[in-house]
Structures are given as C-alpha cells and as structure tokens.
Structure 1
Amino acid sequence: MTPVYQLRVSDVLVYAAGVWLLVKLARRVTNRSAHGTKLRGPPSTSLIFGLNRELARSPNSGNLYHEWAAQYGPVYEIPTAFGGRKVILCDPKAVNYFYSMERSIYIKGKLLRTVIANIFGQGLLWAEGEDHKRQRKALTPAFSNAAIRRLTEVFYDSGYKLKTHWETMTDNAPAEGAIIDVERWMNRVALDSIGIAGFSHDFKTLDGEYSAVAAAFDSLNFEGQGIISNLAFMLGTAFPWLARMPTKRNRIMRGLRLSMSTIADELLERTRREKSTHVSDETRDRSIIGLLLKAEEQDAELRMDPGEVMAQMVNIRSHLKNPDFNEQLECYETTSVSLTWALIELARNQGMQTKLREELNQFGATDPTWDQLVSSLPYLNAVVLEILRLHPPLGETTRQAAVDDVLPVSEPITTAAGQVVDNIAIAKGTVVTVSIRGMNQTEVLWGPDAKEFKPERWLTLADDPVRAKEIQGHHHLITFLDGPRTCLGKSFALAEFKAVLSTLIRNFTFEFPDGPETEIATHRALINRPKVAGEPGGIVPMRVRRAE
C-alpha cells in the first residue's frame, strides 16, 4: 500500500521560504555578474550574516571601515547577509557625488522605508523624489537665518533655566562641587528647547515634569536584546519584512510612534483651534507647526494631505537635526548627545575648557547674539566643529542604487580582477554606504592626529594641506550630510548647541570625579550615547562647580 504523506503548515512555510531564498540568491548572483564593478574587500565570516555581526558588535564601526580601506582601497565591498554585498565609499570624490545624487539615484532601500513608515509615517523621512522636494520646500522657511536668529533667545532661556537648577545643586553641595549626571540634563534642555522653538509647547522637563516624549525615547534601550531581536536586526537588509516582526526592538519602536503620534495630534489640534479663534502672528505662521498647518490648506502651493502633516509632526518631533532615518531619528537626542560629548571632552582637557571660558567671558554678563555665535567666537566654533567631527551622532549613510550608475573616484581603484579603473560601475539595487564617522576620522583626510580631540585644527585648517578640504560638506564634514538631503535643521542645531554650551561653560566648571582618564563606553540605543564605563545605562556623572 502506497504510504500517504501529509504536509504540515510548518513544512509548507519552510519549503516556501527555501524557494524564496534560492530565488533571491540567484538574483543576487545574476546582478553581480551582469552589472557593476566587482571590487576587492574583506572575506565573509558567515554564510548567513556576512560581516553584519562584526559591524553590529563594533563600538566604533568607523575603525573597521578604516582598516578595510587601508587594505583594499578607498572604494571596496563587504559581504552582507545571505550572499549580499555592500559597496563602501571612502573616496572624497565618490562621496561628494553620492550625496549630490541622493534624491535621484541613491535612495532608501525597502527595509529602511518600511521601518520609517512603521514608526514615523510617510513624511519627509520616508519621502523620495518629488514628494521629498515638495515637503522639504514647505518646511524650509522655519529654518532660515531670520528664523534661527529669533529662536536663539529660546535656546538661551533653556540654558538659563538649567543654570538655575544647577546653581541650587552646587550651592547645597560640598566645596568640591556637586556630582551631576550631565547627560540626563542635556536630554532635558534639548527637549524643552525644541518644544518651545518648534511647537510653542513647553515640556517643562527641566522642572521635573513627566514627558511622554522623553519616556518614549528613554525606552529605546537596545542593550540586552534577545537573540530574535538581534537576528532580525542583522538580517534586515536581506529580509525587509523582519521589520514587522513582534520582536522587542520592533515593539519598542512601534510604541514610540504611538506615543509621538498622540502628542503630535494634540499639538496640531490645539494650534488649529487657536488659529481659528485668534489672529495668528508672523512668528506662529512661520514656525514649524504654523507652516505645517499652512501646507494643510486646500489652496496651498506646496500642499500636504493630513497624513503627511501628521507624519511631519512625528518626524520633526523626533529628529529635526538630521536629514534621514539613520541620520535623524531624534531631534532632541542628537543635540543632547553632542552637548554631552562636548562636556566630556572639555572635562578631559581642562586647558581647553579654560581657554573657551576666557573667550566667552569677553561678553561679560551679556549673551552673544546669534551673529556673534556664528562669526565672533572662533574657539567656540572650533570646539563645536571638533565634537561634530569626532563624535557624529550617527555613524553612516546607507542607500540603494535606483538605477545603474557610474561613480567617479579621485584616485585609481584596483578591482577584484586586478584591473585598475578610474570609475566604478554600480548596478541597480546595489547597497552603498558612506561611513560618516570613518570619513570624519580617517588619517588619510585629516592627518595623523585625526582621532584626537584637537579644536585648534579648525583655527589653522585653511593653511593646512589636508585632503579633508576635498569634502564638500559643512566645513568639510559630512555629519550633516550634503546635497539635496543635507540637514534641514543644521543652523537650528548649531545655534542651540552653541547657545547652551556657552551658557554652561561661562557659569560652571566640569571635571570627572575619578580624573580625566575616566573611561567612556557606549550605551546602545537608537542613537548610541556615551556613558561612563560601569554605569548602568547612559549615565555621565561629573563634578560641577560654579565658575569663578
């Protein structure tokens, strides 16, 4: 009697997954052989993960990119999950071209757009092409120089509110100073600033009030994730649907979107009511929330539908400073991380802290204006630029080629076949990455002291023969990216950074309780934060005293 075989549902799923995987692998091989320059690069350490595990586990992926570039050249490829490949750009000319074509050729892949839509909706982060151009143009007036000049007072107000709290703490502390977790307070000052400056809403976290926004971001702790969450993260480039799995990481991110959407909806409704019952002033009309409501009107030149407006609110509420999901998930958090790093580096280098304080004290009890922050404080500017160079909030930009393309390079590249070429063919669908941290810290571009905190480099950069000047980004940095998706809130971020930092350094001194050699580790979150090694979570305790 012929046996009867019954297929279980699990068997069908396994077989279907196997067929799907074989088709996908076949397509990868076909694309690699038919199109694109085959480049040299490090060998894979895993058939399943490629080199994704090494990158995910590295506290500074920029160092890995450095090592590989030194061995394989300034443009190379690395293996990713299930036989995929990713082209890495460390060549200045190729990087400049990549960013200039970011809206038309190098766009977000399916995984990135899926994650963005799941968390933030289909707003500026998600948009590509003409949709991105339209949405960005509608928001641009909120970040003009005139707008930032008006908002500088808001940044000072937040800084002075923080100053008042710290004065109380230091006055009640021993003579050697109060021990303060500066990172927690940097989070608060940045969140209150963006609330007032962008949405006329004071979260009052500096006064100790609960904020659902702060709580949502505090929940984005990726340390201690389970094996399923980590697998979904490392394999996400090969399987975009993993972004929808109910892993701990994905649940946290969906919870963030729910919290942000609720808050954004409340602010929009409140502003709509105020606009319908009062005459709106110019400041409100040109604010972020005012421009969004203007774009919502039926006859608006750059109209957005209600879904797009809501997505912008969630997007801007959560990032503002950086122009993409991997480079702009958090508004207040990117600024707070940069402020924390500034205090860390100045606590490590007391001479630099004193030099900065002396420059700022030239204004006496008067705050520098926005114009003075921009052009009259060279050492403050040097410190800020050096923090942005050495400690960019996000490490890399990753995109996918929408069409076949040819990348120019500034020096000949040796291919995997040993051929020397002066341009690189990129096949449609190829994933391309620029390491922001790697480009900002490489000795090839910045000299032998590239990994040192040295603000003085910015005072002599014009006369230094460093190759970094080949980069077109902000002051030759790609921390804010470049091209059509360059950071929309760059001036906003810099004004806030400088205003708050100048207020703190003029009024307080900072040092580590255990000395300048205190080890700084990484607290893994949506945007990695610095922490003092051994502390639970992102905690940076410092000894704070009033400046004499």
Structure 2
Amino acid sequence: MLVLASFLTAVLAAACSYLFYLLIIWPRRNPLNRLPGPPVRTFFGNHLGAVLDPARSPRVHEKFVKDYGRNVRIRGLFPWEERLFTLDPISLAHILKHSTIYEKPWQSRALISSMIGEGMLAAEGQTHKRQRRVATAAFSIQQMRSLVPVTFQKGIELKDKWLSLLSEAKDLPKDEKARGGAKLDVCHWVSRATFDVIGLAGFDYRFNAIHGQTNELFMAYKDMFETAISQQKGSLWDLLALYFPILDQIWPGERYKVVKKSHEVINRVAGRLIQEKKRKIEESEKAGSVYGGKDLLSALLKFNIAVDLPPDQRISDEDILHNINTFLFAGSDTSSLTMTWLLYLLAKYPDVQERLRAELLTIAPAAPLDSLTEDEIASLYTAIAELPCLEKVVKETLRLIPPVHSSIRVATQDDIIPTSTPVELRRMDGKVEKVDSFMMPKGTCVHVPIEAFNLDREVWGPDGWAFNPDRWDNLPEAVKAQPGLYNNILTFSAGPRSCIGVKFSIIEIKMFTYILLTHFKFAEADPVGKANVVLTRPYVMDKHREGSQCPLYVIRVESETSPTI
C-alpha cells in the first residue's frame, strides 16, 4: 500500500511539474510569443472558433492582417498552445514545400487513421512517399482520360433520376420560378452520384447509390462518413477519446460502434475485391496479355508489381485498402461539395447560369447522349474542357468556397521561416524589431488558412469575397505570387502533399456541370449557409440538426434548347 501511495505521489508530482512548465515556463521561452497576435479574453480562451467558422472567418482573417500583419500568433486549444496563423505567401510556400519538417499533427492523423486507415491523407515520411510514388501512376493524364466515360455515365444516370423525380412532383405555384419543377436537395443527390463515380473509377465496383441505399459496402462507407465526420459534434468526450483512444474501448460510444461495424464490412468486401483484382492481373500475365482494368485499383496493383519498382518501394495490400478508402472519402466528398456549391452559386446568380448554359449548348452533340460511344464521349469532353466560361465558373467556385476550409501542420524540428515583408517581433526588453524571418519552434502548430488565401482582398481585389467568374480574364499581379497547385489558389493545397486527384476532380465537375446545366435550371429555395464540419458543408439556416443539405428548385430546361435526351 505504501509503495502504491509513493508511486501515485510521484506521478502526481510529475504531472504538476509538467503542467507548471507548460503554463509558466514554456510561454516565456516560446519564440512564437514574440509575434504579434490578438489577445484572449479568458485563461482558457482560444481563437479557433473565430478562424474556423466560415460564417465569420473572412472578417476575422482580414482584421488579423490589418491589426497584426501577415504572420500572426493565435491561441490554440489549450492555454500553452500558441499557433502560427500565416497569410504570407513566402512563409506558407516554405511550410508547404518542406513537408518533412511540417507534418500533420498526430491528433489529425489519429482521427483520419481511425476511419480510413493510414493512406496518403494520414501517412507521413517514407510511408507517404512510397504510397504517393505508387499512386502517381494511377493518376496519370492517360489514366484520368480513360475514366471520362465513367463520369459521363453517372452524370446521365443522375440526370435521368432527376427527370423522374420532376415528373412525379407537382407544380409549385407559390413560386413561378419553380413551376414545372421541384425542390430537391442537390447535395444529397450529387453526393450519391460522386460516390458511384469513385466506386467505378476507384475499383470497378457498382454502389448504385443513385438508385437506392441497399448496397452493403455503400452503407458501410455512408454510415462511417456521416457518423464520424458529417455529424461530429466536437464534444468533450470526442476530444478525450482522441487523446486517449482506450476510452472508446472501455466505454464505446455511438461513433466508435458505427466505425467498428463499418470497418468489418469494408475489410471483408473491399479486401475481397483487392484479392480478386490481383488474381485477374496474375492470370492475364500468365496468359501473356495485359489486364485491361481501367480503375485506380487496377492501376495501383499493376504499378506496384512493375519490374522497375524496387521491392522496398512497394506497398502492402493493407496500404492499398487504406488508399482506396482515402480515394473514396477524398474523391467523393470534396467533389460532391464543390459541385453542390457550384449549383448553389449559379442559382444565386441566374445571369451567370444563363450565360454558362448558352455556352454549353453550343457543343451539344446531334446524337442522343445515351447513344454516344466512348470515343464520342471523349471527344465531347475535350470540347467541354476548353469552354472558357465553364473554366472560369469552376475556378471561381473552387476559389470562393474551397471544400477544405483550413488545415494544420506541426513543426517536427526548429525551423526558420522566411517572410515576404518584415515582421515585428517583440524583444525581451519590450521593444519591437523588424526582421525578415522568425523562429518556428519544434512541436508548434501552423494554421493553414486555405479559404483566407483564396479570399484575401489585398490580393484578389476589393470584390475578393464576391462570386465573379470574369475576374479570371484579368487577374491582379499579386495573385501570381500566391502558392497553390491549381491556378494560384490553395484549394488543392501545394507542395509534396498537394491533391493527387486534382485532374480527376476537374473532369468530374465539368462533366456533371455540362450534363446538369443543359437539362435543368436552378433557382434558390431555402436560405443556405456554410458550416465547417471537416469540410465546408451547406446547411439550411436554423436547421443545422437536420444535417448537411442544399435544397434548390430544379426546373427542366425546355426540350428544344437542351441536347437530345
């Protein structure tokens, strides 16, 4: 008993000492505290709500720059957790370029891994490098072009489903704009369609989500993503379970039960698909032919066994399953949200919608869409991809409402961050000095404000918060200095960890836009707002508890102006 008491006393003393270090000593020694930054009102106060809420974050971001400059110190979750908030293009480019120094924090990786495994979204270091090298071949331009017919097919199915729903619906005489149409939750339906696309494109699997919710694998993914992501509440229990995972095993909550059940189905069904695909590839090799599968899983497996890939650079079947899960999550959710926001913005700006529809109709094929061959579909998409108004609308949607509102990185070692303009550091004697770089201490987090970079009015101009596709005809010079994989916006990130599926996402968005805009008109219905729940999702104002939704009036375009159905 005495030994136990001594042990507990020692543990308590160590905990108190560590807490004293975090609360008293570390804040005085932390170099980041020399940066200017907004105050906190209480001891346990923080700035996370202000910078993460898309309803107010643009105003907060702009005020930070005005009051404190482009490199700002903000308070994280705990009193000792100071973070770097940067809107400096040089500083951010440095951080995103040096991905081995600035990694995702273990909390983010643990949350992602608990759902979709340690794929490219969660992996770091050599594991990420090895996975990315194998996956790069699967996302080649040639491979992406081969998936155009898949996207086209699902776009047609979604169009047919909406035509069916409209034929069953009654006119809505209270609003002339909706006469002959119906109010549909476009977020719900587009999400199903993109899930079907990534099922076929990802591993040649038919979820048939557009037509129903009976597929076992689809329901497993749907339940996991909705319960663990879309419906997460950020409660104290969720936070404790993240830091102490054993709590979920002792007192399993609803989230843990759903994820565990979903994993059992995914590992069984998707695991079997991987083995079947490997068998087909091996049989083709023995027969002296090349397996013709065009899905990403086939490409991953074929490249993973390529003779020119060293054995130590290959990835395991488990890694392949984790990355398929990653493709499903990242490929379906982000694309569906971009497509949803694009339709919402077109409903909000009918003049842009009409102009875009007129452009799309100029390339309508003479033959019915349902009868087009794969070559004809490829030729049609080539024409779609080159349409200037469509290109501007897609760019502007991705700029204005990026699916990923912001991200976070943690420094794995002390580092010196360069700046584009001098930053004011407070010295120990209270005086301020202007420097061209500053120290980023190991273990400190960086808040990467993706939306803020895309909306920065000092860069994009006074109308930077507005939807204006024509801005892309004459961009300000300052835009060209912005980091970003895609058109100097951060929507697809930048650096070694930028989005590997950007080409596929653009194909999907443009193809869906062509099919839907040439068959339907869209008008505003219920007031819709934005909420940051892992991704930036639409919610009906004052109805957040009903989940993510974006109801719009969908009206069939007159047959004489639409392509042959």
Normalised to the residue count of structure 2, the TM-score between the two structures is 0.83
- Superimposed CA distance per residue, residues 423-469 of structure 1 (whole angstroms, 9 cap, x where no aligned partner): 122122221122000111111111111111111111222xx34x222
Deviation at 1:74, TM superposition (A): 0.4
Kindly indicate whether the alpha-carbon contact (under 8 Å) linking 1:45 and 1:51 is maintained by their aligned counterparts in 2: no
Look up the match of 1:363: 363
Cα distance in 1 for residues equivalent to 2:411 and 2:280: 45
Q: Alignment partner of 1:214: what SS?
A: helix
Cα distance in 2 for residues equivalent to 1:345 and 1:59: 16
Deviation at 1:100, TM superposition (A): 1.3
Shifted more, 271-280 versus 286-295: the winner is 271-280
Deviation at 1:396, TM superposition (A): 1.3
Look up the match of 1:113: 109
Look up the match of 1:325: none
Deviation at 1:157, TM superposition (A): 0.7
Kindly indicate whether the alpha-carbon contact (under 8 Å) linking 2:180 and 2:556 is maintained by their aligned counterparts in 1: no
Look up the match of 1:437: 451
Look up the match of 2:176: none
Cα distance in 2 for residues equivalent to 1:76 and 1:257: 41
Look up the match of 2:350: 350
Deviation at 1:15, TM superposition (A): 6.2
| Consecutive unaligned residues in structure 1, runs of 5 or more | 320-330
Deviation at 1:95, TM superposition (A): 1.5
Cα distance in 1 for residues equivalent to 2:119 and 2:239: 28
- Superimposed CA distance per residue, residues 6-62 of structure 1 (whole angstroms, 9 cap, x where no aligned partner): 969999986665444335446734751xx5572010112343353335446664534
Identical positions, percent: 27
- Superimposed CA distance per residue, residues 379-400 of structure 1 (whole angstroms, 9 cap, x where no aligned partner): 1011111111111111112111
Look up the match of 1:274: 280
Look up the match of 2:374: none
Look up the match of 2:472: 458
Kindly indicate whether the alpha-carbon contact (under 8 Å) linking 2:284 and 2:291 is maintained by their aligned counterparts in 1: no
Cα distance in 2 for residues equivalent to 1:255 and 1:22: 42
Kindly indicate whether the alpha-carbon contact (under 8 Å) linking 2:32 and 2:82 is maintained by their aligned counterparts in 1: no
- Superimposed CA distance per residue, residues 396-417 of structure 1 (whole angstroms, 9 cap, x where no aligned partner): 1211112222212111111234
CA RMSD of aligned residues (A): 3.1
Look up the match of 1:538: 548
Q: Alignment partner of 1:415: what SS?
A: strand
Kindly indicate whether the alpha-carbon contact (under 8 Å) linking 1:142 and 1:286 is maintained by their aligned counterparts in 2: no
Cα distance in 2 for residues equivalent to 1:251 and 1:71: 46
- Pairing 1:97-496 to 2, within 5 Å after superposition: 97-102=94-99, 104-173=100-169, 174=171, 175-210=179-214, 211-212=218-219, 213-220=221-228, 225=233, 227-229=235-237, 231-232=239-240, 240-241=243-244, 245=248, 257-278=263-284, 284=292, 287-294=295-302, 297=305, 300-301=309-310, 302-319=313-330, 331-365=331-365, 369-374=380-385, 376-417=386-427, 418-461=432-475, 464-465=476-477, 467-473=478-484, 474-496=486-508
Do residues 91 (structure 1) and 96 (structure 2) align?
A: no
Amino acid at match of 1:460: N
Q: Alignment partner of 1:140: what SS?
A: helix
Measured at CA, do residues 347 and 16 of structure 1 come closer, stay the same or move farther in structure 2, by a change above 3 Å? same
Cα distance in 1 for residues equivalent to 2:255 and 2:69: 35
Measured at CA, do residues 454 and 74 of structure 1 come closer, stay the same or move farther in structure 2, by a change above 3 Å? same
Q: Alignment partner of 2:423: what SS?
A: strand
Cα distance in 2 for residues equivalent to 1:217 and 1:38: 40
Q: Alignment partner of 1:419: what SS?
A: strand
Kindly indicate whether the alpha-carbon contact (under 8 Å) linking 1:199 and 1:289 is maintained by their aligned counterparts in 2: yes
Amino acid at match of 1:486: S
Q: Alignment partner of 2:402: what SS?
A: coil
Look up the match of 2:371: none
Amino acid at match of 1:146: Q
Kindly indicate whether the alpha-carbon contact (under 8 Å) linking 1:397 and 1:433 is maintained by their aligned counterparts in 2: yes
Deviation at 1:507, TM superposition (A): 0.9
Measured at CA, do residues 438 and 55 of structure 1 come closer, stay the same or move farther in structure 2, by a change above 3 Å? closer
- Pairing 1:44-63 to 2, within 5 Å after superposition: 44-55=40-51, 59-63=55-59
Cα distance in 2 for residues equivalent to 1:51 and 1:284: 52
Q: Alignment partner of 2:62: what SS?
A: helix
Normalised to the residue count of structure 1, the TM-score between the two structures is 0.85
Q: Alignment partner of 1:363: what SS?
A: coil
Kindly indicate whether the alpha-carbon contact (under 8 Å) linking 2:71 and 2:87 is maintained by their aligned counterparts in 1: yes
Q: Alignment partner of 1:476: what SS?
A: coil
Q: Alignment partner of 1:83: what SS?
A: coil
Instruction: Count residues in correspondence.
Output: 518
Measured at CA, do residues 269 and 539 of structure 1 come closer, stay the same or move farther in structure 2, by a change above 3 Å? same
Cα distance in 2 for residues equivalent to 1:423 and 1:270: 54
- Superimposed CA distance per residue, residues 148-195 of structure 1 (whole angstroms, 9 cap, x where no aligned partner): 111111111100011111112223333431221111110111000011
Kindly indicate whether the alpha-carbon contact (under 8 Å) linking 1:91 and 1:409 is maintained by their aligned counterparts in 2: yes
Measured at CA, do residues 72 and 252 of structure 1 come closer, stay the same or move farther in structure 2, by a change above 3 Å? farther
